Structure formats: structure tokens, C-alpha cells
Structure 1
Amino acid sequence: MADLPGLTIAAAREGLRSGAIDAVELTEACLSAAERSTPLNAFTALTADLARGQARAAAARLAAGDAPDLCGIPLGIKDLFCVEGVCSQAGSNILSDFAPPYESSVTRRLWDAGAVCIGKLNMDEFAMGSSNETSCYGPAVSPWRRAGDNRGLTPGGSSGGSAAAVAGDLVLGATGTDTGGSIRQPAAFTGIVGVKPTYGRCSRWGIVAFASSLDQAGPMAKSVRDAAIMLHAMAGHDPKDSTSADLPVPDFEAALSGDVRGKRIGIPTEYRVEGMPPEIEALWHRGAEMLRDAGAETVDISLPHTRYALPAYYVIAPAEASSNLARYDGVRYGRRAKIAAGDGITRLYERTRAEGFGAEVKRRVMIGTYVLSAGYYDAYYLRAQKVRTLIKRDFETVFAQGIDAILTPATPSAAFAIGEMADADPVQMYLNDVFTVTVNLAGLPGASVPAGLDARGLPLGLQVIGRPWEEAEMLNIAFAIEGAAGFAAKPEKWW
């Protein structure tokens, strides 16, 4: 097989188990693809020695007939996940040269399943961004190009490196994290599948925290089946994470029948936002039609508090970020600023944070500190938490009425050019999350599946929102859309 990095996980699994593909050869092919991908800036570090050792171990397991689903499968790991002994900076200068002496629970599960770590992937600093332009490594670049335009496009954020690496066939799959849409938005921008599981389905232990009540790890892959395979390996109870759910993990791949007959799919009227591009509206209608043709019923539903989701999110997430990032003080680990003799500890804190944090992180820390401060806590943070409860109740009401899943657009537009939003009000960038933040606020599972191209040849995605803990059914509905849409477009290789 000439294009080994272009394989899906499912196809590579079959080839590895049959002996048609060698695990070491597959790993070497992905390492070579990654080394040649410098213009994409997807990787922050390649872990060639680790990958080769894992590939040899996977080959031995395959030869012995002990081959889990991910045995020998090369993956990329978002820089937010701690990998033992590998520099893990969360895209920030304040964690420069931090090599954790421990493994995150999610990556430990992946290695136990035989997966191979090709390297760490670029991301927005501390996962704060929607375009991967806040990274200390510089922006990741999408492998896609607009027709007739050679400007670099954003792969989305914050899991932009993961999206670029999967869409560019550098790895077979990648991990991402989703706090307000950071898996689903970049997946939609790059024509891949991204899954944000129910909050608590995957352990957060060993993942650098942004907003602890919203963060959730998930897979980014080339197909719904691949995402299901990865999620099965990543998910599970972890006693080291107090928010981890002690629930059995279904066989998500086994649930992919594509049969959605009799399912009731909600179409929320509040997601028809003012100024929605006609192409997004048409894609949404086409997605609903695909499901109806497959035997599902579409039902107009109301989620009345959706209009308050973005402002509530951008109070709650910065508040939690300001608390989580207080630990970066220049004393225990990471960057330590140089201070003059006689300067006190306060000066050390100030200079370390001023030098180590980027502009977007500083902005969110200041917002978060403000909304938690005396005199403003009730007016902002407490009120936002009450709105969050109402948003969650909206979904509970709809699901109680027999709705099996909800269909929405994944993003309000196709990918934009790097630097195109640089001079815009930051709120304009935050609007990229308009269709995704409600899912995080309510703790629900959501998946983005590619379903078409815009007029300039860029991918567009649809989002399926599932019931809590029912990722299997959500993925099956996404699988039906994937089959009906027949999305097979790939970016032309220019790097």
C-alpha cells in the first residue's frame, strides 16, 4: 500500500491483523509524512524514538494474536495531554521545557490499547482560541485552500494541530479537547469527524486544565467508525478524576448500523441565527432531508435559552480559567522570570505571568478574575451559572419529549484565513462557538461530521447532539449522515 498515512484506522487495523501491513512500516510512513509537513506547523514535537518502540511492541502483540483495536495505529496527541517525559507546553511559553514525569489517563489507555505516539500537536494557548493563532508555536495551518486563493487558512481551534494532522494524512487519528467547541469546530473546518463525549466519559487527569467543569477529551478521526474505535479506547472510569463517571463503556463501533428508522431528530429554531450564510442553512436542510430519507422523523423544537449561551460561557469559562491558571507562578514548574535583587515574590509572579502568558490568555484571566471579584460575583458568575442550569433544563425538556438527538450546523462559516480576524473585536472570534457552547454548558455529547463543501471548495460540517451517555446512538446517527452525504473530498497536497 503506497499511501499508508492516508488509511483510516479501520482499514489499517484490518491490514495489520491480516499481516498485509507491518506496524513498524506504518509508523515510519507517518513519521516521514510528519517530517515533511513543516508548512502546516501541526506538530510541536515528534516522538520518533517513542513511536518506534511502541511500533515494535505492537508488532509483537500482533504476531502473538493479541491485537486490540488500536494496536499499531499511529496517533497524534494534542499538546494539552501530558505524555511522560515529552515536552507538554499547552501551547504556552509559561510551560516552556515542562516534561511531565507522569502520563495522562487518556494517553495511558491509548498506549495500553497498542496505539503509537507520533508526536505532540499544536493548539491554541491553554486551549483558549478558535483559530490556533494564540499558540506560542505559531498558528497551525489547514491543509485546505480556497479555490483560487493561496492564503493559509485556519484549521480551527483550539485543537487545530490535531485537525490539520488528521486532515493532512500525517496520522490516522488524534486526540483533542473540547471546552466550547474545540474538537467539533476544527473538525468541521477540515472535513474530518470530531467527537465531544458526555462530560465525565473520558478522564481529565493529566490534561492541562482550562475550565474544569467544561473540558472534555475526545477523538478526531477520518470517519465516524474511526472516531468510535478511538473513543472506546479513551473512555472509562478513572478514580484519579472525581468527575469521571463510573459507568460501563459501550462498544461504540458495534452500534454503527446506520439504521435510524423511527428516530426523532430535533431541529432547534433558535439555531437559525441572524446572518447565517445561505450555504450553512442549505447544508442543515440537506442534513435533515438525509435523515428523513433514511427513515427518521425531524421535529422542530425550541431551546429558548440558547441566546444566552455565549455570554454565559464567556463568563464561566474565564472564571474557571483564572482559578486554574493561578498555579503558574514561576515557583513550582515552568517558566520563571528573572527579577532584580531585592524584588519580592509578588514581582516574580507578575513578571513570570506577564512574560509567560499570551494576550488572549491574559484577557480571559482578567475577565475571569473580574467576574469572581467581590461585588461582581452575583451579577456575573452566579447569574451565568443560573443561565447554565436553564440551558441544561431546555435540553432535558426536549429529550423528555422523545427526541433522540438534535441536528444543527457545526459552525457559522467555513474556515477563514489566518490573520483575517486579527483586527476584529475579540467577540467576533468568540461567535465561532455559537453552535457548540450549549453542548458543553449542558454536559452533553456532540459530534461534527463533514457533509459538504462551500462554493470555494472548503468543508462544512453538521453537528449531532446526543442524549447524556448515549454516544453510541449519536454516533450511529452521524454514521447515517456520513453515508448519505458521501463526503470524500481531500485537500490537494501543497506542503
Structure 2
Amino acid sequence: MDFFNQDLTSLHADLVAKKISAAELAKATFENMSKTDAKVDAFLGLNEDAALKTAAAIDAKGINADNLLAGIPVGVKDNIVTKDLTTTAASKMLENFVPVYNATVVDKMNQNDLVIVGKTNMDEFAMGGSTENSAFKVTKNPWDVSRVPGGSSGGSAAAVASGQVPVAFGSDTGGSIRQPASFNGIVGMKPTYGRVSRWGLIAFGSSLDQIGPMTRTVKDNAAALNLIAGNDVNDGTSSKREVPDFTAGLTGDIKGMKIALPKEYMDDGIDPKVREIITAAVKQFEDLGATVEEVSLPHSKLGVSAYYIIASSEASSNLQRFDGIRYGFRAQDVKNLEDVYVRSRSEGFGDEVKRRIMLGTFALSAGYYDAYFRKAGQVRTLIINDFNKVFEDYDLIIGPTAPTPAFKIGDEISDPVTMYMNDVLTIPVNLAGLPGMSIPAGFADGMPVGLQLIGKSFDESTIYKAGYAFEQATDFHQATPDLGGAN
């Protein structure tokens, strides 16, 4: 059982018709995972016993014909807490941490009869763009196992792209759902900030983090977002706006839609082959009846600099709780309290996490707050204003998701600045709190290339509508990797 030739609609139909039971589906999923994940390393931990019991209980009460995801196996990024299931954030600091509660999105999965099969690998505390910063393993790209799957949600992306699960959930702070979706040739949605509860998401950058779904098709993605979206009393930043049915507008008709193409998203920093693919995608949208015009987002080039000050400052604050006292890793043979703090954090955190904590602490320190953190906040406002101005006249913004296809494992891990620039096209979306989605748009040298669609605040529906129309007119989403790298 791989999920290359079935989507949620066909799986649901088989479950409702009892051609397969939820228990049989779960068992077949684990059998495939035992072979496939040895090549990909998408999962940090499996939930086999509990998942099989859950699936049997779903069968006993019967599949809800109105719930497209009932009985469906899913993967969950390992920074989303799961009660009684180890949650590590891919860090030695939380290597043996077993939460006593569920994240709100996990409660919603359980209430809607999803079957959580395991926790997916990631960059430690979601800090990275290649999933090489995990303390436990390096996830490989199913299209070429010598290449990275992107990050930080690389495990979730690779799990879907390799056919191990039809849906996985990740988190996106600066592109961590969309960039790996691009690298793996799948669909990844970063919803509007506040659309999905962050309760139970291990915090990195609290004003930027957002949980979202990763799937093989646009319709499956919309159905998954339906399930996890909505207000939560436990999260003061979650929106009380009514959640529409995101699958309702998937007609394939986008005639009259106005789409903006920022010239900054197609400059010399973009791989020429990626630029060629995006140019072809623009032509496809025009053939479908949309109008695509060039615009400018002049402050987008400052996004990376502003982001790494804001995100690192928030991380410096959020990660103070990991001190070796209450839970998590604690250094041995310490001499005093200061030794507990210093050695626990020095030994428990990886290099990238320590790098960002130090950067953030510096930016927030006396004498530097105004020069760095406050100025980054002002740049953030300029970026928001740029988006607002464009959205006065356009329905969507289009462009590449990442400047290049997936790079080789080891190529950029020793060069943080180069690694950071992989998110140059996705970061402004998080700074502005907007929704953004990556969809498959073609291949460069055998590796997937993603197209990013950016929408107005709380207008995921228009993104899905446009993405679905493009998907129906192309066949990129139907391509599957030949595990082993012969693509």
C-alpha cells in the first residue's frame, strides 16, 4: 500500500464501501513504511500499536461517510505535541519527552478519526531549511536520496512524496512547509496566521509560526485544512472568523482572476531553469483565463534580514524554558545551578539552535534593541504595506517557491547564510501573516520545482481555487519518484 495512485476521495470511497477497513489500511501503511522509510528516513518515531487500536475502533463504530479523512493514516511533525507519544522537536534536549496533553490540531485529528502513524523528522526546533539539523537522522529526498528534502518540515514532505502517507502536517515559520513541498513535488499550505491554533506547537517564532497540511493534491490539502482550522480558546492569536469549506470552490474556472507577478521574484538570484518553469506556469494561468501582470514588492529583498532578527529574538525568549530543571535534557556531574543551566543548554541544543539563540539574545540586549529588533519590526511593516498595496488590485501573487531545486546533502549545511537565502521567497509571507501555498510546477534536472501562490489574509479559498485549476490543466502532481535516485 503506497498512496501514489489514490487520493482522499478514492480512499474514502473504498473505506465507506468496505473494500478495505481502516485497520487493514493502517496495517498495509506500516508494512510499506517498513520498506520505504529505510531509504528516506522521514519518520523519527512510529505509533504502530496505538494506531492499529485506533483504526480498529474506527471500524467498530463505522466510517463516517461525510468525513473524507476518517480512517486515513497521517504523519505529524515532531514539534506538534502528542499525548503519550514521544515528541522531541528533533532535539537532544527533548529526546525522551512524552507530553501529557495533545496539541489542538491533534485533538481535532482524533475527534475526526484520523490515524496518526508516526512523528516526522525535522530540523531541530524547526530551525533550518534542509532537515540536516535534526539531532537524530538526516531525511533524504525521495526523488534523489543524495539530496535534501528541504526543511524544517522535510520529514513530513518526504513521507508524502514517497507514498508513505497521503497527508502529513508540518509547521511553517519562514517557509518550512512550502519550501520542502517545492523540493518534493507535493502541495504544501501555510495558512493565514491565526487560521489554525498554535496550542501545542513547540514555539519557535510565536508571531510567525503556523501549522498546515502537506498532500499530493490541492483538493486533499483543502480537505485537510478544513479539519484543523478554526478558533481555539487556548490560543489567543487564533481567529474567530468563520472557516469556509475550502473544497467548495474547486471548479477549475479562474477566468477573470487577476494575478500579480513581482519582478523581485524573478531576478538574477533565481535559477534560470526555475525561472523558465515559472514563466511557463504563468502562461498556463493566462491560458486558463487569468490576467497576469508584473508588479513590484520593493521591500521583499529585506525580508531575510528582518526575519532572522525577529525569529531569532522570539526563539531566544521561547527557548528559555529548556533549562535542565523542569523537563528535558539535564547535564550530568554538574557542580552548581549555573552549571546546570550552561551545560544542559550547551549539550542539549545543536549548533543552529545555539546560533539563533545567541543572535536573538544579542538583538534584544540593551543598546542593540533599537538598532536591530525595532528596525526589523519597521521593515516588517513596510513588507506588509507592499503586499496590501498589490492586493488592492490583484487576487493573488504568483512566483517560485524556492530559488533552486533541492541541493545535495552536505552542500550548504556549513554555510548558514546561503542556507538562509533558500527562504528568500517564502519569508515575506510569514512576516505579513498571509496564506501561501506551493504546488508542483515542473522539473529541473529531474528534481521538482514548486510554484508559490500567495493570497490575501484569510483568503485560502482563492489560493486553492487557482491551484486546483492549474493542477487540473497539468500533470506534474501525478509524477512519482523512483526511490533510489534514478529520476
Is the Cα contact below 8 Å between 2:3 and 2:164 reproduced in 1? Answer: no
1:89-108 matches, cutoff 5 A: 89-108=88-107
Once the two structures are superposed, residues 86-123 of structure 1 have per-residue CA deviations (whole angstroms, 9 ceiling, x without a partner) of 01010100012100000000111111111001000000
Counterpart residue number, 2:484: 494
Tell me the equivalent position of 2:472: 483
Contact 2:79–2:202 (Cα < 8 Å) also in 1: yes
Tell me by how many angstroms 1:421 deviates. 1.4
Q: Aligned residue for 2:419?
A: 429
Q: Find the partner of 1:336 among 330, 336, 352.
A: 330
1:365 corresponding residue in structure 2: 357
The residue aligned with 1:56 is 56
| SS of aligned partner of 2:391 | helix
Q: Which amino acid aligns with 1:392?
A: I
Structure 1 residue identity aligned to 2:155: G
Q: How does 1:228-239 map to 2 (within 5 A)?
A: 228-239=222-233
Equivalent position of 2:239 in the other structure: 245
Give yes or no for contact 1:199–1:443 (8 Å, CA) kept in 2. Answer: yes
Q: Measure how far apart 1:39 and its partner are.
A: 2.6
Q: Kindly provide the CA deviation profile for residues 310-342 of structure 1, in whole angstroms up to 9, marking residues without a partner as x.
A: 1000110100000000010000111111134xx
Q: Is the 8 A contact 1:123 1:160 kept in 2?
A: yes
Alpha-carbon contact 1:177-1:215 (below 8 Å) kept: yes
The alpha-carbon deviation at position 484 of structure 1 amounts to 2.1
Given the superposition, is the C-alpha separation of residues 67 and 51 from structure 1 closer, same or farther in structure 2, using an over 3 Å criterion? farther
Aligned position for 2:39: 39
Match of 1:474 among 457, 463, 479: 463
The yes-or-no answer on 1:202 pairing with 2:196 is yes
What is the DSSP-based 3-state SS (H/G/I as helix, E as strand, rest coil) of the residue aligned with 1:435?
coil
Deviations 1:4-57 (A, max 9, x none): 575222221122122222211111111112222223111111101111122112
Alpha-carbon distance in structure 1 between the residues aligned to 2:426 and 2:60: 42
Deviations 1:225-251 (A, max 9, x none): 110010000111000001000111111
Whole-Å Cα distance in 2 between the matches of residues 432 and 72 of structure 1? 36
CA distance in 1, matches of 2:192, 2:319: 24
The residue type equivalent to 2:237 in the other structure is T
What code does the residue aligned with 2:390 have? V
2:291 matched to which residue of 1? 297
Q: Which string of whole-angstrom CA distances, capped at 9 and with x for unpartnered residues, describes residues 137-176 of structure 1?
A: 121111112xxxxx62111000010011000011111000
Q: 1:324 aligns with which of 306, 318, 321?
A: 318
Partner amino acid, structure 2, of 1:41:
D
Aligned equivalent of 2:402: 411
Does the Cα contact within 8 Å between 1:259 and 1:294 map onto a contact in 2? Answer: yes
Q: How many residues align?
A: 483
Alignment of 1:347-386 (within 5 A): 347-386=339-378
- Mapped contact 2:363–2:373 kept (Cα < 8 A): yes
**SS of match in other structure, 1:447:** strand
Q: TM-score, normalised by structure 1?
A: 0.95
Q: Percent of counterpart pairs with the same letter? A: 46
Once superposed, what is the RMSD of the aligned Cα atoms?
Answer: 1.3
Contact 1:5 1:171 in 2 (8 A): no
SS for the counterpart of 2:315 is helix
**Inter-partner Cα distance in structure 1 for 2:40 and 2:147:** 10
Q: 2:174 aligns with which of 173, 180, 196?
A: 180
Aligned-residue offset at 1:269: 1.2
* Secondary structure, counterpart of 1:153 in structure 2: coil
Hey, what's the Cα distance between the residues in 2 that align with 1:294 and 1:244? 35
Which consecutive unaligned segments of at least 5 residues does structure 1 have?
Answer: 146-150
- Deviations 1:285-334 (CA, angstroms, capped at 9, x unpaired): 11111111111111211111111111000110100000000010000111
Counterpart of 1:69 in structure 2 is 68
More displaced 10-residue stretch of structure 1: 263-272 or 442-451: 263-272
The answer to whether the aligner puts 1:449 opposite 2:439 as a matched pair is yes
CA positional deviation for 1:79: 0.2
- Indicate if the aligned counterparts of 1:167 and 1:191 stay in contact, CA closer than 8 A: yes
- Structure 2 letter corresponding to 1:201: R
* Structure 1 residue ranges (4+ consecutive) displaced by more than 6 angstroms after TM superposition: none
Q: Note the C-alpha offset of 1:494.
A: 3.3
Report the Cα offset of residue 223 of structure 1.
Answer: 0.4
- Supply the distance in 2 between the matched residues of 1:274 and 1:337 (Cα, whole angstroms): 48
Post-superposition offset of 1:284: 1.3
Question: Equivalents in 2 of 1:410, 1:257: separation in Å?
Answer: 24
2:153 corresponds to which letter in structure 1? S
The match for 1:148 is none
- Aligned mates of 2:152, 2:331 — CA distance in 1: 27
Q: Measure the CA separation in 1 of the matches of 2:74 and 2:131.
A: 20
SS across alignment from 1:254: coil
For 2:24, the equivalent position in structure 1 comes to: 25
* 8 Å Cα contact 1:10/1:225 also seen in 2: no
TM-score, length of structure 2 as denominator length: 0.97
Q: Counterparts of 2:291 and 2:99 in 1: how far apart (Å)?
A: 49
Please state if 1:392 is matched with 2:381: no
Q: Distance in 1 between matches of 2:311 and 2:474?
A: 35
Aligned with 2:62: secondary structure? Answer: helix
**Matched position secondary structure for 1:432:** helix
Post-superposition Cα deviations, 1:369-405, rounded to whole Å, max 9, x if no partner, equal: 00000000000000000000110011111111x2000
Q: Would you say the 8 A contact 2:169–2:213 is kept in 1? A: yes
- Mapped contact 2:259–2:397 kept (Cα < 8 A): yes
CA distance in 2, matches of 1:404, 1:235: 22
In 1, Cα distance between the equivalents of 2:161 and 2:84?
27
1:205-224 correspondence to structure 2 within 5 Å:
205-224=199-218
Contact 2:278 2:441 in 1 (8 A): no
- Structure 2 distance, partners of 1:62, 1:395, is 47
Superposed displacement of residue 3, structure 1: 4.4
For residues 42-73 of structure 1, the C-alpha deviation after alignment (integer angstroms, 9 at most, x for no partner) is: 1111101111122112223435x565221000
Distance 1:61 1:253 in 2: 26
